[in-house]
Amino acid sequence: MASAAANDDFFLKDPRELFMLFSGGEITLEKPKPDPVPEPVKDTVNLSVKSSSPGQTVLTNHPSLLDNVKLFGNNLFGGKQGSKDPNLMCIKTSVTLVRSNFRGLDVGNVFSDILELGQELIGNQVTLQLVSNDVDPATGSGKLSGKVTFEHWTKPRNLLRSTPFEFNMDFYVPKNFGTPGAILVFNGHNNLDVPILSTITTEFKITDAHVVMPDKNVIGFFCNSWVFASDMDKDGRLFFANKLYTPASTPAGLKKLRANELKEIQGDGTGERKEWDRIYDYDVYNDLGKPDDPRPTLGGSKEYPYPRRCRTGRKLNPDGKTETRLAGSLANNYIPRDEQFDEVKKSGFLGNSLKGKKHQNVASLFVHEQDFESFDHVRELYVPVGEESSVEEVINNQQQPFELIRQFVKASGDNKNAFKYPMPRLIAVNKDAWTQDTEFARQVLAGMNPLLIETLKEFPLKRPSAVTAEIVEPQLEGLTIGEALAKKRLFVLDYHDRLLGYIQRINDLKTSQAYASWTLFYLTKDGTLKPICIELALPGKDGGKPTFRVFLPSREKDTKDWAWELAKAHVLSNDAAFHQVISHWLRTHAAIEPFIIATNRQLSIMHPVHKALVSHYKNTMDINQAARKSLINAGGIVETTFTPQKYSMEISSKVYAGWRFIDQALPNDLLKRGMAVRDPSAPHGLKLVIEDYPYAKDGLDLWAAIRAWVKDHIDIFYADDKAVKADEELQNWWTDARTKGHADITEGWILADSKDNLVQIITTIAWVASCHHAAVNFGQYLYAGFMPNHPSMTRKLIPEEGTPEWDALQLNPEKYMLSMLANAVQSKLNITTIEILSTHASNEEYLGERPAGWTDDERVKAAFKKFSTRIEEISALIKSRNKDPANKNRLGAVKVPYELLQPKSGPGLTNKGIPNSVSI
């Protein structure tokens, strides 16, 4: 067996060296120089081989073995043979691509290198053709150039890090060929079926291409897509030039290709999807449970409506209803290859997952008991302020990606802080400020779930209730309830109507215990909220009337009423569950996926609406398939750590029945909840009922900025409403999204029948994917990372006075409260999860940003530049608001500014930043 020189990196200068490894040769591996942003490789191969067998040839610094072998000659109008023909013109083309490397623990990529080499040697190579905007009468499609081969394919590369390669080629075409509007790529490296390894696939990612015409005009191609072997994609991969066209304005030579590509992407709705497929189709959520642990199929019925997810086509279980689940933690559900995390995102996600698992496991060394004993006992999970991190570091820097892995490398055996969780900013300045009632109320406006508070519209309530005027009015600063209602000073957080129907089923599980909660708040004269009372309800037996308990804040400023504290914990547990499966999962992750599928099925990549939305879809399908595998599935993290347990997703289905697209627009949402009223003289035409409502205040500025940009973008391509209605792709897209992607919801839609409606549609999708998601996602660790502040689970009901349980509460209230909340195992699993979810990738793309070269249209770039500038202005405005002491709801007793809608962020756990998409 060959021996390789000792080396820290697995780096092959040429994949042919693998042949020498298996044949007994001795190879010197060359370590690459550090290069965080590799330049495209253009040089010939430097191959260093020393034979271990007598008589074999030694090659040193030899050009690539394929350099002088023309196994696939250039066709007509291809190579140098046309250079002197006066009837031909030369079109110079460059293509930059990245070859596949290790994806996770996929060793198949090593073998794919061997396979690619073998394919090159037998003449199965990668070729490129140009497609003209002008029609070839013989085909009815664009004129085709001859094929040109990607020569010097086997260039040196690092199997662990993506290396861009640039290929330059000349095309000689007739002078009447016209302007290239597309390129056609054939990956001739056929796949190989190996019983042990399954199918070894050959793939590469074309990042971009440039065509230089004889007049020096440059045509760009923004590709950013994976190309599989032509035996899996027999017609090759088509990439259109980086131009935007509605169907009506598409060059004649591209119209047929445009339509055919959409048909290919739509598929025929049959068969099991394979890794190399590029098909977008819909399916119901029938893959969450198992035959021995079933869950309802979500979607496709009146009883359990739901948005659709990406169809995989896997076979059904013997029950004929549920889709088989993939085994193994590394197994992925099918999504199109281009929707998968890129290398940086995937390595960061896996690294953060590993870091979180280390936290979870090593934290057990510091928490031995099943239940926490005290709040200080919970605090032992975190790196103490002043030891590994100062308060300033916690507040300003947080933990950067892989910081805990770095600590692992350097940590000595007696480093007691290695692998502890980062200190949540909530308790970094004041470890007890979170217990204050004012902070409990403030987080309803500026916490991780600020979307549920609404004005109280009437009193007494129409439903049965134990809350009376005698309970409420003494706390209203001299106002009557009627006066407070008229002045819009009373607000509610209502989980009574939303949860009462499930409380008995949840409590029958025995492992968690819950109430249907209803919490009343009053807006004080200083503009802050204070809680008035909490009503907790249990359903009556056999359909009888519910039973109620009402809890009031302690009247003594420095004395805690622990029954009130337990009541707050039950409210927060309801809020945590509703936040995770409704505000977060349902309204962003699940609701956006059908729009992603519809956009790819019905809108060409050349369509201006596709271009506007595509950045708002990045990584969403990948994180969603991961969630179906381990987060929202039967026995997954949500069911393990949140009070509703096995009913969590079922409850989200019931809430989705009332989901309306028009209500996802921030202004409409605020109006519906009574948190704003129409006022033409107010900014954005809305006056906030609570002026210092951070989520709404910052959100309206961002909403208006997004809408202004979308309007500018749409104005470029549509002259009037008639042009919108005449756009067949656009109409098919919106019909597909409504009637297939969200097929169970028939109300609350607007039609794409005018420019204004189209702007509203695109703005709403972009808002939900960016700002809405950021507001409910990146504050999770900030507010729930310290479990008692926002517990995900309650395991006991509140004891009655005079019982042994009540006595235990009075004797040791912290211990009793913690015995009621999530235990240590559940807490660590939840903390680990939300730490991962709250962490930004190092290559995140934020609101107001687009990848380099995303469009060649100067009008589109100018409109987006205007938008980017406005986002920067809003960022400065948010900073100034947070510094204004008059805005008391933005900082609170915990001294944490509201930055969840601060657009930009660095990587890591920063508690701010708005990615363009639902990317985590």
Residues 906 and 910: their CA atoms lie apart, in Å, by 7
Our answer to whether residue 874 is catalytic in this structure is no
Q: Which of 496, 579, 584, 772 is catalytic?
A: 584
Question: Strand pairing of 126-136 and 148-149?
Answer: antiparallel
What single-letter amino acid sits at 582? I
Backbone torsion region of residue 258, taken as left when φ is above 0, otherwise alpha when ψ lies between -120 and 50, otherwise beta: alpha
Tell me how many helices (H) and strands (E) the chain has: 28, 25
Question: To which H or E segment does residue 206 belong?
Answer: strand 203-212
Our answer to whether residue 637 is catalytic in this structure is no
Q: Are 553 and 531 in contact (CB under 8 A)?
A: yes
Q: How far is CA 718 from CA 600, 732, 751, in A?
A: 21, 17, 16
Question: To which H or E segment does residue 210 belong?
Answer: strand 203-212
Instruction: Produce one character per residue of 753-774: b if its CB has 16 or more CB atoms within 10 Å, e if not.
Output: ebbeebbbbbbbbbbbbbbbbb
Phi and psi at 98, nearest 5°, equal: -125, 130
Question: To which H or E segment does residue 520 belong?
Answer: strand 516-523
Question: To which H or E segment does residue 11 belong?
Answer: strand 11-12
Residues 570 and 574: their CA atoms lie apart, in Å, by 6
Three-class SS of 676-729: EEECCCCHHHEEECCCCCHHHHHHHHHHHHHHHHHHHHHHHHCCCHHHHHHCHH
Our answer to whether residue 596 is catalytic in this structure is no
Structure tokens at 583: 């505000």
Q: Which of 377, 772, 773, 790 is catalytic?
A: 773
Phi and psi at 345, nearest 5°, equal: -65, -45
For the CA atoms of 622, 623, 624, 629, the dihedral, rounded to the nearest 10 degrees, stands at 100
Bridge partner residues of 41 (DSSP) = 165
Bridge partner residues of 537 (DSSP) = 516, 548
Q: Are 766 and 665 in contact (CB under 8 A)?
A: no
Q: Which of 633, 777, 830, 911 is catalytic?
A: 777
* Alpha-helical regions (H) of 473-561: 481-486, 496-508
What single-letter amino acid sits at 557? K
- The angle subtended at Cα 614 by Cα 609 and Cα 616, nearest 5°, is 110
Query: Cβ contacts of residue 320 below 8 Å, gap of 6+?
Result: none
Q: Which of 570, 579, 589, 742 is catalytic?
A: 589
- SS3 at position 193: strand
Our answer to whether residue 616 is catalytic in this structure is no
Instruction: Produce one character per residue of 870-887: b if its CB has 16 or more CB atoms within 10 Å, e if not.
Output: bbeebbeebeebbeeeeb
Query: Cβ contacts of residue 541 below 8 Å, gap of 6+?
Result: none
- The angle subtended at Cα 317 by Cα 315 and Cα 323, nearest 5°, is 55
Give me the residue label for tokens 């007793």.
893
Q: Are 159 and 10 in contact (CB under 8 A)?
A: yes
Our answer to whether residue 265 is catalytic in this structure is no
Query: Cβ contacts of residue 362 below 8 Å, gap of 6+?
Result: 418, 419, 420
HSE-up of residue 750 (Cα within 13 Å, Cβ side):
20
Phi and psi at 724, nearest 5°, equal: -65, -50
Q: Which of 91, 200, 798, 920 is catalytic?
A: 920
Q: How many CB atoms lie within 10 A of CB 399?
A: 24
The residue among 19, 241, 186, 32 whose CA lies nearest residue 111 is 19
Query: Cβ contacts of residue 292 below 8 Å, gap of 6+?
Result: none
Give catalytic residues, as residue numbers. 584, 589, 773, 777, 920
